């Protein structure tokens, strides 16, 4: 019974290589060269999944990436992948796949109850049902919808595979390796142009792989082999099979996903990536992706066993699998006749239901001669069978195709091969902003104008005959190469192909049934999202006639297949309702990617430690050895705190805070942004960039500055020191370093290019050890012989050079703790040694190393702000109570004029204040809002907490916050309601300085 | 994903650049004398055209230089790039943004050829 649907001697599969695989827990056999879909069909497995909404049994509908039904859960555990198209998954030994969207099994699915209730699930169901009360959205509706809308399961473990990204340039990129694409590659490659040819299939050839046609008097397979051999020999041609060109962006930038090892199955060896994401910049592109066959809209057209005629032919000829033993071919054109003939030749009983009243031509004659019965002028009005098709009803149609001309009769069948015409695959063209035009003769959209250098060729251009495809491909290849600077543009002669003559087609967009549309039978146009022609009628009745509204209201075309088989049919139904032509209804814009792309491929190598670079200071090794817990600050790893045996964070921070003020503390401040500024206009420039005056600063002295944007808002702060007349050392916040340098450069280059100022980042050139506390002076005296560290001779904000701990040093008397402090800057290479020496020598002075958390507490005790924490881009220096730093003498500086604008100058702006809770043990959460009186919402917000800590040195909790009119409300009582909705903390507004209010400690 | 020509380095990928908004907005010299409206216009008002846009870019992950560019906002095709301080290039009124400057000039020369022959 194994592979009982195989056709003896047919197909491109390798029968010498049998492959075992597991489907829904059962073991089956297929062959090398099979897809999961072809192997399942070979084993007579028809039912492969349940539909999205109604949980109707569904089978394999196509043989390509357009598959809407047969999307499966591939593999299990860390490597599981949902929504894999069975038609694209190549079979490998041990492949495991399961049907998705069904429970407990695909055979017996509880969700199928939805089908019985289908009249309660119309288009727009979610919008209508889950509209009110809105408060239930998050807790209830979303959960229900998410459960009901399952499309497979995401892996929950870390992806064990590796992925790669590759950037490439080429002269001609060709998407699609069928007859047109191969021809284009040949013509372009022969000119010597750099060509990339990508095809999503395992082998090149496209539609030819399923065809029995001859090219230049030889089987098509030979032509493919010769062409691929010639292309392989060309050094400038890159052939990429199993590679989908999935996105077309501006300036001919395209992304490709290459499935490098997917066809081999899970591998332990990750020296080769599982998938490779190509980013290609192409001078010219040729889009030769072919065309996708259009299903016909007839009653209950979703039974397992209904498939596209071209897919049926592909299974027969390429995979040697008969999709059914009794096949009804349902068509309105000649293109399905070869499928009927091939099925007949392979031993199936075949009948043709042809919409045309008088089909004629060589193909029709051939079918008749083979004894195939043709029911002309007829349509299928219904199907029978639930989990597998076992028959259909056929009736003659009226002249306008809108009703039945006679009673239906029945035909027994297990497969219906449908052929409703062809849609050129215009997705990439559309993604590239290309226009689409409607071709009335061919009844399809074809590529129109595109502003980028691209061409479409072959079936993707609406050229459906093989001779035309070959010819157009060669011409496109030669022309594209010529425009890219290669060859003369003359195309090689096309190989001879027997001309296939096709008769005219009849298009019946909705095949009528014996019951009115939407009553008892369903005409599915979007199989993946379970949308029917009746849903489109409903949408139209409710006013959703615009194609963009229609799409969102009915969800048509919004599945993982993006409506590859459904969009044009949906437009046709709407056109019929509106009595308009299809192009008047319009078409939605195709969005990338063409097929779902794994996050792994998009991420490529940029994961784990390569996702974001880690910056460490020169002292990092010491921090690790000393047991630091690290905090991410920008890209930096900074010691957060240094816990001692058994301490938790709170205990460690409290100890560090206390000791730093009692004896002395050491902080690694190397991450501070440092910018070296030189030039004759440097002082003038700082005058413009900072709010205070800089031209008056003496050499060897530093000054604190705040930097504004042109809106007058604080964006950074730091101390800048004048090293020489025309030489300054600027410090910025850790996170603002790159941004500030960028801003300085922007002003200098674009506004004042005539000014001579040169800015250089020296952040990583200097390692910075900050020594602070009452014992700092004594410790410094132990570390240096050539700098007089006495504050009387080395005053606050002064600067000295000398030797500290054996290294050349620049020492700045800067303090972010409010205590006597020295910032010792040494060249980065000395950082670790100096740090270690300071720790050693500091032992007898009671030195404690502390991290960023203690730094935050200590500065908050003094009311020193952190830009970006206590400010948020809407805060002026005046709001911070720093009027003193805004020069009244300067005519201009960046942001000055904005301070006199009405909103910036008004009363009642949020201002920085201190906040004391009534209960000294309560530490308010940062971000907590303050209100005048607690009560039921809505309550007016008076402001919020920006910084909040437990301070051992103040002996209680402290907080800073931005409060409306806060400076005038010192002493007022406000309230902080908590997230639990019950607790309210009473608080008092205070001055934002909690410790050493007189500032006596700065000089020891 | 545009390809942008840095006047100093040549054509590079967009990821190397940062956009800097409309170009040729000089910072007023007499800021104190400006009305709120005039100052507001300097900070906030931009032309936002559908069509030809003079704009600033910085080759932030390259040479670090700021420069100006002329881009058609409908098609994202650049007419030209030029260094800071260089004169704003004039763009022909009939340039619809669908072609590069070279293509446009080649096409105009063809139609303007005096002997009527295509060059």
Is the pLDDT reported for residue A286 higher than 90? yes
**A251 to B2: CB separation less than 8 angstroms, yes or no:** yes
Task: Report how far apart, in Å, the C-alpha atoms of A685 and of each of A692, A707, A708, A899, B59 are.
Answer: 12, 12, 14, 20, 23
DSSP string, A903-969: HHH-TT-EEEEEEEESSTT--PPTT-EEBSS--SSP----EEEEEEEEETTTTEEEEEEEEETGGGG
Q: Which residue of B has its CA nearest to A255?
A: B1
**A451 to B66: CB separation less than 8 angstroms, yes or no:** no
How high is the ipTM of this complex?
Answer: 0.94
Which of A750, A896, A900 lies closest to B66 in CB terms? A750
**A753 to B13: CB separation less than 8 angstroms, yes or no:** no
Cβ(A773)–Cβ(A662) under 8 Å?
yes
Over range A829-836, report the average pLDDT. 98
Per DSSP, what are the bridge partners of residue A237?
Answer: A195
Can you read off the two tokens belonging to residue B26?
């000089």
Number of domains in chain B: 1
Q: Considering Cα of A896, then A898, then A904, then A906, what sign does the dihedral take? A: positive
Per DSSP, what are the bridge partners of residue A943?
Answer: A930, A963
Is the pLDDT reported for residue A150 higher than 60? no
**A901 to B36: CB separation less than 8 angstroms, yes or no:** yes
Is the pLDDT reported for residue A850 higher than 80? yes
Which of A281, A749, A898 lies closest to B65 in CB terms? A749
How many angstroms separate the first and last alpha carbons of chain A? Answer: 94
Q: What is the CATH number of domain A620-671+765-850?
A: 3.30.1360.120
Can you read off the two tokens belonging to residue A969?
């409300």
- Weakest mean pLDDT among A124-138, A186-200, A699-713, B32-46: A124-138
CA–CA gap between residue A443 and residue A447 (Å, rounded): 13
Q: Which residue of A has its CA nearest to B32?
A: A897
Is the pLDDT reported for residue B117 higher than 60? no
CA–CA gap between residue A346 and residue A367 (Å, rounded): 14
Is the pLDDT reported for residue B42 higher than 90? yes
Each residue's pLDDT tens digit, B58-73: 999 999 999 999 999 9
Is the pLDDT reported for residue A628 higher than 50? yes
For residues A49 and A955, the model is more confident at A955
Q: At what angle do helices A567-578 and A533-541 cross, to 10 degrees?
A: 50
CA–CA gap between residue A474 and residue A187 (Å, rounded): 5
Summarize chain B as % helix, strand, coil (round to 5): 25, 30, 50
What mean pLDDT, rounded, does chain A reach?
94
Strand A766-772 versus strand A821-827 pairing type? antiparallel
In a domain, B61, yes or no: yes
Is the pLDDT reported for residue A50 higher than 90? no
- Weakest mean pLDDT among A116-125, A299-308, A354-363, A828-837: A116-125
A334: Cβ–Cβ under 8 A, 6 or more apart, which residues?
A: A359, A361, A363, A364, A502, A503, A505
Can you read off the two tokens belonging to residue A321?
């699998």
Each residue's pLDDT tens digit, A863-882: 999 999 999 999 999 999 99
For residues B117 and A9, the model is more confident at A9
CA–CA gap between residue A155 and residue A784 (Å, rounded): 59
pLDDT band at residue A113 using 50, 70 and 90 as cut-offs: low
CA–CA gap between residue A133 and residue A140 (Å, rounded): 11
Task: Report how far apart, in Å, the C-alpha atoms of A378 and of each of A147, A408, A455, A512 are.
Answer: 42, 9, 39, 10
Which three-class secondary structure state does DSSP give residue A612? Answer: coil
Question: Which of A170, A246, A247, A251 has the highest number of chain B CBs within 10 A, making it the mutation to test binding with B?
Answer: A251
Over range A524-532, report the average pLDDT. 92
Distance from chain centroid for Cα A154: 15
- Going through A344-491 in order, the beta strands assigned E by DSSP cover 349-354, 373-376, 378-384, 391-396, 409-411, 415-419, 422-424, 436-439, 444-447, 454-456
Report domain A674-764's class: alpha beta
pLDDT band at residue B116 using 50, 70 and 90 as cut-offs: very low
- Weakest mean pLDDT among A436-445, A604-613, B68-77: A604-613
Is the pLDDT reported for residue A885 higher than 50? yes
Cβ(A838)–Cβ(A847) under 8 Å?
yes
Which three-class secondary structure state does DSSP give residue A719? Answer: strand
In a domain, B113, yes or no: no
pLDDT in the model for residue A133: 58
Which of A249, A711, A751 lies closest to B1 in CB terms? A249
Can you read off the two tokens belonging to residue A32?
């090398």
pLDDT in the model for residue A229: 98
- Chain B environment of A892 (Cβ under 8 Å): 31-32
Domain A860-886+900-1002, CATH number (from 2.40.30.110, 3.30.379.10, 3.90.1150.10, 3.40.50.300): 2.40.30.110
- Going through A762-863 in order, the beta strands assigned E by DSSP cover 766-772, 799-804, 807-812, 821-827, 847-849
pLDDT band at residue B118 using 50, 70 and 90 as cut-offs: very low
Half-sphere exposure of residue A822: CA atoms within 13 angstroms, side-chain side: 31
Phi, psi of A116 (to 5 degrees): -65, -30
Task: Report how far apart, in Å, the C-alpha atoms of A453 and of each of A239, A797, B100 are.
Answer: 21, 62, 11
- Which overall architecture, per CATH, does domain A14-115 show? Roll (3.10)
Is the pLDDT reported for residue A379 higher than 50? yes
- Chain B environment of A253 (Cβ under 8 Å): 1, 3
Can you read off the two tokens belonging to residue A548?
């963009």
Helix (H) or strand (E) holding A167: strand A163-175
Outline where A346-408 has alpha helix (H).
362-369
Each residue's pLDDT tens digit, A780-823: 999 999 999 999 999 999 999 999 999 999 999 999 999 999 99
Each residue's pLDDT tens digit, B5-31: 999 999 999 999 999 999 999 999 999
DSSP string, A241-301: TTEEEEEEEGGGEEEEEEESSGGG---S--SS-SEEEEEEEEEEEEE---EEEPPPB-TTT
Is the pLDDT reported for residue B80 higher than 80? yes
- Which overall architecture, per CATH, does domain A163-291+424-483 show? 3-Layer(bba) Sandwich (3.50)
Q: What is the CA radius of gyration of chain B?
A: 17
In a domain, B119, yes or no: no
A345: Cβ–Cβ under 8 A, 6 or more apart, which residues?
A: A370
Phi, psi of A363 (to 5 degrees): -65, -40
**A901 to B66: CB separation less than 8 angstroms, yes or no:** no
Choose from A50-54, A254-258, A595-599 the range with maximum mean pLDDT: A254-258
Is the pLDDT reported for residue A54 higher than 90? no
**Domain residue ranges of chain A, discontinuous segments joined by +:** 14-115, 163-291+424-483, 296-419+504-585, 620-671+765-850, 674-764, 860-886+900-1002
- Chain A environment of B31 (Cβ under 8 Å): 892, 896-897
How many angstroms separate the first and last alpha carbons of chain B? Answer: 34
Cβ(A541)–Cβ(A514) under 8 Å?
no
Over range B70-98, report the average pLDDT. 96
pLDDT in the model for residue A984: 96
In a domain, B118, yes or no: no
Domain A296-419+504-585, CATH number (from 3.50.50.60, 3.40.50.2000, 3.40.50.300, 3.30.70.20): 3.50.50.60
Over range A314-323, report the average pLDDT. 98
Task: Report how far apart, in Å, the C-alpha atoms of A652 and of each of A356, A655, A761, A845, A931 are.
Answer: 86, 5, 34, 19, 33
pLDDT band at residue A1 using 50, 70 and 90 as cut-offs: very low
Which of B1, B26, B39 lies closest to A251 in CB terms? B1
Is the pLDDT reported for residue B119 higher than 50? no
Q: At what angle do helices A362-369 and A337-345 cross, to 10 degrees?
A: 20
CA–CA gap between residue A263 and residue A58 (Å, rounded): 25
CATH number at residue B96: 3.30.2270.10
Which three-class secondary structure state does DSSP give residue A195? Answer: strand
A119: Cβ–Cβ under 8 A, 6 or more apart, which residues?
A: none
pLDDT band at residue A144 using 50, 70 and 90 as cut-offs: low
CA–CA gap between residue A572 and residue A444 (Å, rounded): 10
Percentage of chain A lying above the pLDDT 70 cut: 96
Each residue's pLDDT tens digit, A720-766: 999 999 999 999 999 999 999 999 999 999 999 999 999 999 999 99
Asked, colleague to colleague, whether A620-671+765-850 and A674-764 share their fold, the answer is: no
In a domain, B91, yes or no: yes
Distance from chain centroid for Cα B100: 13
């Amino acid at each position: 019974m194994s592979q009982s649907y195989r056709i003896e001697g047919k197909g491109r599969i390798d029968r010498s290589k049998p492959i075992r695989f597991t489907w829904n827990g059962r073991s089956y056999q297929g062959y090398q060269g099979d897809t999961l879909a072809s192997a399942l069909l070979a084993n007579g497995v028809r039912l492969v999944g349940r539909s999205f909404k109604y949980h109707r049994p569904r089978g394999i509908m196509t043989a390509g990436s357009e598959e809407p039904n047969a999307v499966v859960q591939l593999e299990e555990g860390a490597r599981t992948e949902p929504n894999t198209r069975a038609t694209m998954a190549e079979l490998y030994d041990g492949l495991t796949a399961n049907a998705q969207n069904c429970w407990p099994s695909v055979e017996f699915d509880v969700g199928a109850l939805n089908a019985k209730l289908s009249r309660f699930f119309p288009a727009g169901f979610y919008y209508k049902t889950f509209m009110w009360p809105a408060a239930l959205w998050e807790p209830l509706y979303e959960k229900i919808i998410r459960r009901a809308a399952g499309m497979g399961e995401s892996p929950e473990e870390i992806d064990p595979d590796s992925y790669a990204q590759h950037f490439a340039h080429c002269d001609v990129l060709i998407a699609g390796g069928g007859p047109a694409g191969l021809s284009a590659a040949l013509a372009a490659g022969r000119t010597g142009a750099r060509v990339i040819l990508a095809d999503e299939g395992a082998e090149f050839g496209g539609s030819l792989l399923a065809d029995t046609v001859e090219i230049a008097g030889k089987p098509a397979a030979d032509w493919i082999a010769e062409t691929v051999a010639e292309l392989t020999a060309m050094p400038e041609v890159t052939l990429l099979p199993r590679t989908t060109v999935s996105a077309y962006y501006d300036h001919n930038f395209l992304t490709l996903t290459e499935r490098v090892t997917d066809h081999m199955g899970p591998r332990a060896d990750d020296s080769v990536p599982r998938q490779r994401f190509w980013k290609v910049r192409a001078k010219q592109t040729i889009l030769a992706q072919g065309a996708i066959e259009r299903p016909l809209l007839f009653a209950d057209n979703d039974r397992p066993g209904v498939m596209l005629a071209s897919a049926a032919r592909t299974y027969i000829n390429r995979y040697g699998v008969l999709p059914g033993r009794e096949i009804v071919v349902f068509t309105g054109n000649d293109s399905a006749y070869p499928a009927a003939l091939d099925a007949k030749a392979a031993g199936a009983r075949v009948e043709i239901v042809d919409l045309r009243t008088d089909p004629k031509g060589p193909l029709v004659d051939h079918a008749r001669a083979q004894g195939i019965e043709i029911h002309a002028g007829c349509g299928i009005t219904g199907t029978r069978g639930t989990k597998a098709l076992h028959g259909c009803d056929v009736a003659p149609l009226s002249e306008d195709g809108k009703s039945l001309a006679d009673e239906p009769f029945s035909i027994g069948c297990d497969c219906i091969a449908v052929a409703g015409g062809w849609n050129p695959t215009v997705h990439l063209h559309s993604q590239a902003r290309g226009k689409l035009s409607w071709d009335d003769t061919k009844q399809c959209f074809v590529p129109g104008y595109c502003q980028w250098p691209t061409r479409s060729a072959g079936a993707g251009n609406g050229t459906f005959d093989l001779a035309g495809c070959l010819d157009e491909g060669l011409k496109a290849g030669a022309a594209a190469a010529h425009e890219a600077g290669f060859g003369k543009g003359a195309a090689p002669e096309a190989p001879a192909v027997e001309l296939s003559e096709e008769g005219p087609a009849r298009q019946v967009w909705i095949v009528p049934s014996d019951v009115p549309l939407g009553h008892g039978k369903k005409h599915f146009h979007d199989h993946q999202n379970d949308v029917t022609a009746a849903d489109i009628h409903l949408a139209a009745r409710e006013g959703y006639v615009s194609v963009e509204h229609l799409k969102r209201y009915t969800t048509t075309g919004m599945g993982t297949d993006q409506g590859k088989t459904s969009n044009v049919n949906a437009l046709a139904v709407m056109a019929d309702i509106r009595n308009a032509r299809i192009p008047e209804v319009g078409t939605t814009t195709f969005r990338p990617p063409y097929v779902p792309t794994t996050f792994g491929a998009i991420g490529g190598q940029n994961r784990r430690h390569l996702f974001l670079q880690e910056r460490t200071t020169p002292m990092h090794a010491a921090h690790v050895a000393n047991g630091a817990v690290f905090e991410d600050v920008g890209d930096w790893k900074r010691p957060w705190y240094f816990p001692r045996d058994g301490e938790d964070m709170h205990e460690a921070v409290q100890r560090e805070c206390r000791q730093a003020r009692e004896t002395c503390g050491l902080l690694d401040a190397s991450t501070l942004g440092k910018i070296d500024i030189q030039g004759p206009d440097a002082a003038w420039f700082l005058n413009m960039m900072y709010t205070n005056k800089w031209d008056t600063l003496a050499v060897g002295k530093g000054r604190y500055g705040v930097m504004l944007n042109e809106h007058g808002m604080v964006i950074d702060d730091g101390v800048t020191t004048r090293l020489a007349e025309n030489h300054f050392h600027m410090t910025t916040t850790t996170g603002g370093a790159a941004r500030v340098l960028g801003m300085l450069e922007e002003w200098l280059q674009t506004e004042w290019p005539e000014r001579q100022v040169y800015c250089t980042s020296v952040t990583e050139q200097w390692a910075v050890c900050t020594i602070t506390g009452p014992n700092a002076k004594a410790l410094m005296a132990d570390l240096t012989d050539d700098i007089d560290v006495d504050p009387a001779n080395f005053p606050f904000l002064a600067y000295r050079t000398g030797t500290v701990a054996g290294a050349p040093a620049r020492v700045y008397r800067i303090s972010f703790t409010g205590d006597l402090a020295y910032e010792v800057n040494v060249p980065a290479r000395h950082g670790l040694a100096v740090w270690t020496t300071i720790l050693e020598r500091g032992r007898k002075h009671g030195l404690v190393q502390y991290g960023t958390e203690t730094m935050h507490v200590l500065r908050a005790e003094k009311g020193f702000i952190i830009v970006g924490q206590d400010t948020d881009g809407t805060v002026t220096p005046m709001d911070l109570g720093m009027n003193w730093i805004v020069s009244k003498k300067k005519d201009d500086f960046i942001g000055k004029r904005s301070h006199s604008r009405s909103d910036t100058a008004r009363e009642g702006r949020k201002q920085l204040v201190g906040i004391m809770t009534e209960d000294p043990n309560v530490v308010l959460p940062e971000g907590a809002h303050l209100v005048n009186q607690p009560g039921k919402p809505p309550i007016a917000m008076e402001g919020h907490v920006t910084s909040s800590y437990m301070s051992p040195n103040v002996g209680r909790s402290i907080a800073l916050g931005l409060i409306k009119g806060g400076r005038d409300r010192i002493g007022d009582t406000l309230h902080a309601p908590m997230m639990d909705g019950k607790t309210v903390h009473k608080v008092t507004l205070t001055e934002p300085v909690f410790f050493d209010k007189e500032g006596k400690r700065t000089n020891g | 994903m545009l390809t942008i020509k840095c006047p100093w380095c040549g054509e590079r990928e967009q990821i190397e650049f940062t956009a800097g908004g409309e170009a040729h907005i000089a910072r007023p010299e007499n800021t104190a004398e400006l009305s709120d409206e005039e100052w507001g216009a300097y900070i906030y008002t931009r032309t936002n055209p559908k069509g030809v846009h003079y704009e600033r870019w910085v080759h932030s992950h390259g040479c670090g230089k700021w420069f100006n560019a002329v881009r058609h906002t409908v098609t994202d095709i650049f007419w030209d790039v030029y260094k800071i301080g260089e004169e704003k290039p004039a763009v022909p009124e009939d340039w619809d943004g669908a072609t590069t400057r070279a293509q446009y000039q080649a096409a105009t020369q063809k139609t303007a050829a005096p002997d009527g022959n295509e060059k």
